[in-house]
Structure 1
């Protein structure tokens, strides 16, 4: 697992995540194996949903919305698995709990960063609406105002988002979390850890794609090396290769943005400028209504897509937060809570 620009890097920089499948440790019964296989089959189907029929569908707001939906479903699947395993929190190793709280906090931070960027892009919608309003007139003064609004939109969209810039360090932490903890005694724990590994791989991948897209840089891209010891890695590799390759191609071409909807708006803006800026060519003016109409449609599609993506990111935030709160509640009801001096993300240390 490595960042795309890191070149040759240790295959397992954070330890061997597949050590849990060795003959040592608890044996998984046929019943537990059946539960795990069903979970991983569902995970593979969710991965398949993210493989588009065409590369043109990659990195659209609709694809990103679907990716968030898949994350929500997969994290909810983990909650269901814990229930099906009848594995109470007091059976959890304390290290697992610490790792869970650390990961969940990083995911909440990541969601906040994504939400801030989506909100920032949505704020540019007003500038586009002002431009469209002024383009409804034929006066040069209105055209100047439209140009000013379009310039403002371009500057706004190209400005940096400090929260997105911090996603790289969060991704490093999530990448480190892929190292699976040892499971020595509990077969159910072995099943849970293996199932969670698949969901964590999916989560890190989606977060890296979002971070790369929103930062307009490949520095946040990750290439995750997953051995074919489970049923789902071949499907995951196909998905990752397809998406990461397309991101690299788009950046290498110097595209304004990797998101389809932003590119569509920018394309219309570039067509408008030669017509409405400076001296107006009567011949070119004939094409103006069609280009303005296209800008209106692409602007509406961008706004609608951002609204839907906002809802899904909020849903994922809620899934992570409620899972975290549920674990805290279970810990408090089944153990004595004393103040912790160990730091970390938990507000208390649990003593059985």
Structure 2
């Protein structure tokens, strides 16, 4: 999905881009430095996220790193807010309403992701049954076939929680544009930084939804004006990842997650053998395929567990940021130390 943006303006490599962008806005050197630090860091994170090999796209290890990067970016914006010393009383009511609304939507998306990771992990039980029935001295082909059928049905089924993410993503995309800031230099810095966070958050979440749902409906081709110093890094990353995801889907695969795809390939080799019965020629094929299946099953299980931890971390970061803002609204204080991530939340994170 793509959103219509303002026409891109040329980006000139000479001079100070921050002075050019904020000419006449009376930003102090301190504010310019804070913004520059945030945007340079954002650009570096995006560059590191670009897969070295296109085969890494939608690999669980890469998805874990993508979520880890998203956590870091959200922590960066909290650090910026603290450094700005921007009191809540100076925040526009619209900013607060949008932030609180968006944070709830992100929490819902995290819950959906955790639900899907848990569902995929349940498929591990089917594969364990397959291995148990094929690795013993007496091979139970009928039971192995039943477990293989169960695995394929489980993997191809749909998670209703993910269906709800489509509408949530559409709603988040509607608030992505930069608001007009008139009389607040700190507000301009904050909103510009928040724009970057929203763009990257939408992009990464759209990748996860595409990977988990089996649909490219919400794969976003967001366009960032070239006046942002991180625009080139983002555009390069977006093109690389989205193009590869579309190529993967064009092949009509059962699953687009690379580790699960490897399992599916082995399952396809085993299925006709366990269905028709074993002959001496196929004995060695079963042995090697079963060994491969065990290795691949462990990789999937470990990859999903690590990914679940990163989704849990993102949930905590969004929740602590939301709670900190609500706390400051009640006491009328500054958004300072309370905006830093804490470990005070027990039992709140998605499991």
TM-score, length-scaled by structure 1: 0.88
Contact 2:88 2:329 in 1 (8 A): yes
Change (3 A) 1:261 1:73: same
Contact 2:141 2:277 in 1 (8 A): no
* 1:129, distance to aligned residue in structure 2 (A): 0.5
Asked if 1:121 is matched to 2:120, the reply is yes
In structure 2, distance between residues paired with 1:265 and 1:79:
40
Deviations 1:87-114 (A, max 9, x none): 1211111111001001101100100111
TM alignment of 1:1-352, pairs within 5 A: 3=1, 10-12=4-6, 26-137=25-136, 139=138, 142-334=140-332
In structure 2, distance between residues paired with 1:48 and 1:263:
27
Partner of 1:338: none
* 1:146, distance to aligned residue in structure 2 (A): 0.8
* 1:23, distance to aligned residue in structure 2 (A): 6.6
In structure 2, distance between residues paired with 1:32 and 1:23:
11
In structure 2, distance between residues paired with 1:279 and 1:100:
60
Q: Point out which structure has higher relative CO (alpha carbons under 8 A, 6+ apart).
A: 2
In structure 1, distance between residues paired with 2:216 and 2:111:
21
Contact 2:155 2:255 in 1 (8 A): no
Change (3 A) 1:278 1:58: same
* 1:75, distance to aligned residue in structure 2 (A): 0.6
Contact 1:275 1:285 in 2 (8 A): no
The RMSD of aligned alpha carbons is 1.7
Number of residues of Structure 1 aligned to a counterpart in Structure 2: 321
- Secondary structure in 1 matching 2:276: coil
In the TM superposition, structure 1's runs of 4+ consecutive aligned residues that sit over 4 Å from their partners are 21-25
In structure 2, distance between residues paired with 1:225 and 1:282:
59
TM-score, length-scaled by structure 2: 0.88
Deviations 1:122-172 (A, max 9, x none): 1111111111110113546x1110110111011011111101011111110
In structure 2, distance between residues paired with 1:24 and 1:66:
37
In structure 2, distance between residues paired with 1:11 and 1:189:
22
- Secondary structure in 2 matching 1:105: helix
In structure 2, distance between residues paired with 1:124 and 1:23:
53
Unmatched 5+ residue regions in structure 2?
8-19, 334-351
Unmatched 5+ residue regions in structure 1?
14-20, 336-352
Contact 2:133 2:144 in 1 (8 A): yes
In structure 2, distance between residues paired with 1:50 and 1:24:
32
In structure 1, distance between residues paired with 2:84 and 2:107:
26
Contact 1:25 1:185 in 2 (8 A): no
